[in-house]
Structure 1
Amino acid sequence: MSTTVFRIGGDLEVRRLGFGAMHLPTDPGPGPDRENALAVARRAVELGVTLIDTAYMYGWGANEELLAEALHPYPDGVHVTTKVGIARAVPSGEWMQDGRPAALREQVEQALRRLRVERIELLQLHRLDPKTPLADQIGTLRDLRAEGKIGRIGLSEVTVGELAAAREIVDIASVQNRYNLLDRGHEPVLAACEAAGIAFLPWATVAWGRSGATAEVAAVAAEAGATPTQVALAWLLGRSPVVLPIPGTSRIAHLEENLAAEGLTLTGAQRLRLDRLSGGGSALPGEQA
């Protein structure tokens, strides 16, 4: 079985199988949905999750506030990584990239306040902004790191070339790209991360549930006495030691199912059958991470 921990940036030790908070409802009002969301976040930590992924875009800060309500003061070793660089367009309300230095600084300051921390151990740029020079975007995060407001810098949805260009400006500790058993379009980026020891956080880890509809995945799951979701996650964990899956859910039963995938060992023959699968589809409408 592959190791269950990874040191992001060489020193921030986390459990490789994390939790993506994107699907937790962020309605600020009290009620059963919010209580359930709080319970899911707390259960993740109870089960040993140490890396929780969120973003300003998830509820425009409400997801960060939810996690702080559920978990603050954070147990030792638990880290919430968040993402900045996305803003709401006015008046449409649609999202857009915003990597202007002032905007990034403001989003980081607000994230610190919402998460109730003085330093964000891993801060990721949600999307590169084509309207802002890369040096200004990455340079701003570098400056914030020097000021002690963030510990490590990551990127999301980048190419090999963009990753290389960013690394000329500052050390990059993580990359968060869409990648799963059926969608391996970012294989070259994963290879670059593995070569450099950079954490690779795949999102859409189970292909939005489509893995279970694939006959080969279903067959392997039946052989292994596991669910298709667990097979998809076990495949990711075995794919490379730098892969840190962050499956998301709003249900405790699914959370427990996901985390149990860490104990599933696929045989070499099963992995070979799964390796032959490939999707490569684009994101579904409304799916962003």
Structure 2
Amino acid sequence: MSNNPHDTIHITGIDKPILRIALGTWAIGGWQWGGPDDENAIKTIHKAIDDGITLIDTAPVYGFGHSEEVIGKAIQGKRDKIALATKVGLNWTDDKQKVFRDSRPERIRQEVEDSLRRLKTDYIDLYQIHWPDDKTPIEETAAELEKLRKEGKIRAIGVSNFSTAQMDAIRKHAQLSTAQPPYNLFERDIESDILPYAKQHDLGVLCYGPLCRGLLSGKMTKDREFKGDDLRKIDPKFSAPHFEHYLAAAQELSEFAKDTYNKNLLALAVRWVLDKYDGNIPLWGARKPEQIEGVQDALGWKLSDNDLRTIDTILKKHIKNPIGPEFMAPPNR
């Protein structure tokens, strides 16, 4: 892994350097984001690749296959420019009303073939277990992933939402390259365990939610309404009285970014994630081409230790009881 904090790193098993900002495509799938917009999604993916992004992260559950299908169309003729990261280990009922964890070997085998077909590719660069499945022995899951790696269907193995103990268990049976936890200025639980573990074992860390579902975008306002199946309707941070506290913190952080670096809040939020560990790769979520604007604004500079202390002071001033992302966890089988 490169020690350069600004641009690219290498992930074990992946043969191309990875820009330290990746494209996150949950919203492109449409589910929990107000429905899909495929034409804009394809333009967004092309814009990301043109702007130097080399890793695209997706999952079957993002639109129940739809995100993968859209990416598969978008990368035709461009496959050699990017590394594809997708996931395994979630299942759903036929009516798509219930999502649950399922990392049985037979489910993994079915999912990888489905993902390869949807993505229109013959290999996946990074294959990640989406959530730990407490009902399936971890060695069975790991052994199946190792088989897929040796068969060449996948190049590297990652985990998402795993504890350090669960990562230890995986590493006894498979070569682990990455972890994917939630991480942003407002959700920092991983600093006590996952980040030190990643540093110790040289893991890349794909950080999902670096803008905390829009709270750190610089565009969120107190009168914003969330409709339909929007995930933010069940996130306590977006309900009174918490919403007001988080918006106040975002406003002061925005002023700090402007005054200190002439940057916007979004660039500050992503730079902060980059500077917390050289192996961090924030997932930049976008579903419209214009939402890719600004990727370069987060690269090529660095927050000082004094800046990091100032940011911590702002957070403590406005947010007395931080709320984590636990509400997103799907149930076990």
Q: Give distance in 2, aligned partners of 1:231 and 1:120.
A: 31
**Structure 2 gaps, min length 5:** 219-246
Q: How does 1:90-239 map to 2 (within 5 A)?
A: 90=94, 93-187=97-191, 188-211=193-216, 212=218, 213=247, 214=249, 215-223=251-259, 224-239=261-276
Q: 1:283 aligned to 302, 305, 325, which one?
A: 325
Worse overlay, 46-55 or 12-21: 12-21
What is the match of residue 7 of structure 2? 4
Q: Give distance in 2, aligned partners of 1:108 and 1:239.
A: 33
Q: Give distance in 2, aligned partners of 1:107 and 1:219.
A: 46
Residues 26, 34 of structure 1: 8 Å contact kept:
no
Q: Give distance in 2, aligned partners of 1:284 and 1:254.
A: 27
**Structure 1 gaps, min length 5:** none
Residues 216, 273 of structure 1: 8 Å contact kept:
no
Bigger RCO (CA 8 Å, 6+ sep): 2
Counterpart code for 1:226: K
Worse overlay, 254-263 or 276-285: 276-285
Q: 1:275 deviation in Å? A: 4.1
Q: Give distance in 1, aligned partners of 2:327 and 2:182.
A: 14
The 1:181/1:145 distance shift into structure 2, 3 A limit, reads same
Residues 14, 125 of structure 2: 8 Å contact kept:
no
SS, match of residue 244 in structure 1: strand
Q: 1:272 deviation in Å? A: 2.1
The answer to whether residue 306 in structure 2 is matched with residue 251 in structure 1 is no
Q: Give distance in 1, aligned partners of 2:142 and 2:66.
A: 25
Counterpart code for 1:9: T
Q: Give distance in 1, aligned partners of 2:269 and 2:143.
A: 37
The answer to whether residue 47 in structure 2 is matched with residue 43 in structure 1 is yes
- 1:43-91 alpha-carbon deviations (Å, 9 max, x no partner): 0000000000000011111111101111113243311110011111355
Identical-residue share of aligned pairs (%): 29
What is the match of residue 78 of structure 1? 82
Q: Give distance in 2, aligned partners of 1:25 and 1:108.
A: 18
Residues 25, 250 of structure 1: 8 Å contact kept:
no
Worse overlay, 215-224 or 234-243: 215-224
Q: Give distance in 2, aligned partners of 1:240 and 1:92.
A: 37
Number of residue pairs the alignment of both structures matches = 284
Q: Give distance in 2, aligned partners of 1:166 and 1:284.
A: 22
| TM-score of the superposed pair, with normalisation by structure 1 | 0.91
Residues 44, 287 of structure 2: 8 Å contact kept:
yes
The 1:15/1:92 distance shift into structure 2, 3 A limit, reads closer
What is the match of residue 311 of structure 2? 274
Q: Give distance in 2, aligned partners of 1:69 and 1:201.
A: 24
Residues 57, 86 of structure 2: 8 Å contact kept:
yes
SS, match of residue 134 in structure 2: coil
